[in-house]
């Protein structure tokens, strides 16, 4: 009898843990446009400025989702600018950085590091579980940032990347003559020590997981196998009316940025070329090619597997 009870208990635990894994893997789908909860996180009158609105959308199961992402933009420290048309800061080269004007944020440790980041469109940087700074321009114009911090190796880098959107909840924007053009993403980062030596770059050794995939004109195109969230069979076409399309959402783990978080089942990052991301006409990137395209340690653009449909991507790397 005792043996049987033990068997039933083990069976229950197994089923519960299986259910737990399944629940984490399968997305919740929403349909159509989200309700605007913030009409614009940030006002910029600069060239090519797009409104960085935030929305909320309810799924059929009652769950609510913030799109394109639930960020710390309003409360967090904004990263210092390399190039930001909204602030009229337009450095022409990395040698023009006035390091004394870039605050050193304490992430626990004794060495000073410098992070250079360009994101399409938005990032939040954590070191050792501490949110250091966020991208000062959520959507466009394209900007680039520099962050200094104190840490001791090894330390854990965690980056949230958001491909912002105009059609909230639908992963699309007005672009190239279409009202519902799925925008693309990409993020590049370089970390140097105080001597100027590169200690980390974004590359395929990072882990990257997507938590928001849109637009989906057909939900069945999305293949979820364990931690793999593969939307490569989904249409990425621009359309004039994508208002009835769907989106897939997964809950962001509470401590995803912590050094203790186990990212070992997340897929490795996918790397993308400068041409694919399309930075050749963007001075926020091109003025700092000596940093981002250093021939000795060349940083790659990274993202999860789909540069177009994956819109909220968490990336992690331990710097040994
Ligand atoms: Ca930005
Ligand atoms: Ca996108
Ligand atoms: Ca984009
Ligand atoms: Ca590069």
Answer whether residue 14 is part of any domain. Answer: no
C-alpha 156 to ligand 2 mean position (Å): 27
Residues at Cβ < 5 Å from ligand 2 ion: 163, 183, 311
| 215 upstream amide cis, omega within 30 of 0 | yes
Arithmetic mean of pLDDT, 296-303:
98
- Find all residues with CB under 8 Å of 176, minimum gap 6, and list them: 238
How long, in residues, is the chain?
320
Q: What pLDDT is attached to residue 23?
A: 42
DSSP for 239-262 reads: BS--TT-EEEE-PPPTTTTSTT--
Core vs surface per residue 228-250: b (16+ CB within 10 A) or e = ebbbeebbeebbeebbebbbbbb
pLDDT value for 22:
46
What pLDDT is recorded for position 45? 83
Q: Using the mean position of ligand 3's atoms as its centre, give its distance from the Cα of residue 183 in Å.
A: 5
Share of the chain above pLDDT 70, in %: 92
Cis peptide before 310 (omega within 30 of 0): no
- Give the tokens for residue 246: 């769907």
Domain that holds residue 172: 29-319
pLDDT at 18: 52
pLDDT, tens digit (0-9, with 9 covering 90-100), for 247-289: 999 999 999 999 999 999 999 999 999 999 999 999 999 999 9
**Beta-carbon-side half-sphere exposure of residue 318 (alpha carbons within 13 Å):** 9
The mean pLDDT value of the chain amounts to: 94
Q: Output the CA 222–ligand 4 centroid distance in Å.
A: 30
In a domain, 24, yes or no: no
Quick check: 229 pLDDT over 90? yes
Mean pLDDT of 78-92: 97
How many angstroms separate the CA atoms of 70 and 67, rounded? 7
42-56, 147-161, 299-313: least confidently modelled range? 42-56
Percent residues over pLDDT 90 in the chain = 91
Query: Which ligand has the shortest distance to the CA of 86?
Result: 1
In this prediction, residue 156 carries a pLDDT of: 98
Residue 196: what pLDDT? 96
pLDDT at 3: 63
What is the per-residue pLDDT for 46?
74
Whether residue 24 is predicted with pLDDT greater than 60 in this model: the reply is no
pLDDT at 1: 52
Q: Is residue 304 part of a domain?
A: yes
> Nearest bound ligand to CA 118?
1
In the predicted structure, residue 14 carries a pLDDT above the cut 80 = no
Distance 268 CA to ligand 1 centre (A): 23
| Pairing of the two strands 144-151 and 104-106 | parallel
Whether pLDDT at 9 is above 90:
no
In a domain, 273, yes or no: yes
Question: 290 to each of 48, 119, 194, 203, how far by Cα in Å?
Answer: 25, 17, 17, 17
- DSSP-based three-state secondary structure for 283: helix
**Model confidence at 233: pLDDT above 80:** yes
Count: domains in the chain:
1
pLDDT, mean of residues 143-149: 98
* CA 244 to ligand 4 centroid distance, Å: 37
Q: Does the residue 2 lie in any domain?
A: no
In a domain, 11, yes or no: no
Tokens of 269: 């990052």
Q: Which ligand is nearest to the CA of 304?
A: 2
Q: Tell me, yes or no, whether 16 lies in a domain.
A: no
Looking at the domain assignment, is residue 109 inside a domain? yes
Residue 228's contacts (CB-CB under 8 Å, 6 or more residues apart) are 267, 305
Angle at 318 between CA 315 and CA 320, to 5 degrees: 155
Q: Band of the pLDDT at 47, cuts 50, 70, 90?
A: confident
Q: 240 forms bridges with which residues in the sheet?
A: none
């Amino acid at each position: 009898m005792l043996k049987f009870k033990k068997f039933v208990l083990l069976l229950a635990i197994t089923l519960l843990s299986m259910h737990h894994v399944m629940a984490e893997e399968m997305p919740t789908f929403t349909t159509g446009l989200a309700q605007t909860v913030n009409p614009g996180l940030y006002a910029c009158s600069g060239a090519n400025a797009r409104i960085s609105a935030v929305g909320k959308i309810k799924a059929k199961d009652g769950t609510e989702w913030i799109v394109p992402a639930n960020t710390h933009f309003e409360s967090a420290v904004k990263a210092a600018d390399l190039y930001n048309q909204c602030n009229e800061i337009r450095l022409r080269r990395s040698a023009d950085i006035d390091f004394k004007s870039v605050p050193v944020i304490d992430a626990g440790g004794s060495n000073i590091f410098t992070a250079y980041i360009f994101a399409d469109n938005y990032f939040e940087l954590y070191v050792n579980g501490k949110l250091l700074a966020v991208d000062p321009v959520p959507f466009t114009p394209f900007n680039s940032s520099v962050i200094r911090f104190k840490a001791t190796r090894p330390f854990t880098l965690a980056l949230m990347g958001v491909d912002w959107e105009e059609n909230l909840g639908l992963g699309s924007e007005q672009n190239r003559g279409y009202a519902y053009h799925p925008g693309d993403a990409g993020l590049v980062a370089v970390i140097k020590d105080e001597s100027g030596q590169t200690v980390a770059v974004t590359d395929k050794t990072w882990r990257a997981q997507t938590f928001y995939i849109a637009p989906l004109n057909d939900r069945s195109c999305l293949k979820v196998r364990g931690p793999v969230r593969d939307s490569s069979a989904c249409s990425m076409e621009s359309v004039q009316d994508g208002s009835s399309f769907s989106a897939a959402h997964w809950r962001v783990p509470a401590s995803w940025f912590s050094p203790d978080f186990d990212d070992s089942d997340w897929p490795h990052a996918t790397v993308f070329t400068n041409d694919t991301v399309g930075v050749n006409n963007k001075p926020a990137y091109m003025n700092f090619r000596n940093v981002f395209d250093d021939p000795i340690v060349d940083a790659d653009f990274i993202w999860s597997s789909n540069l177009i449909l994956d819109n909220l991507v968490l990336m992690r790397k331990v710097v040994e």
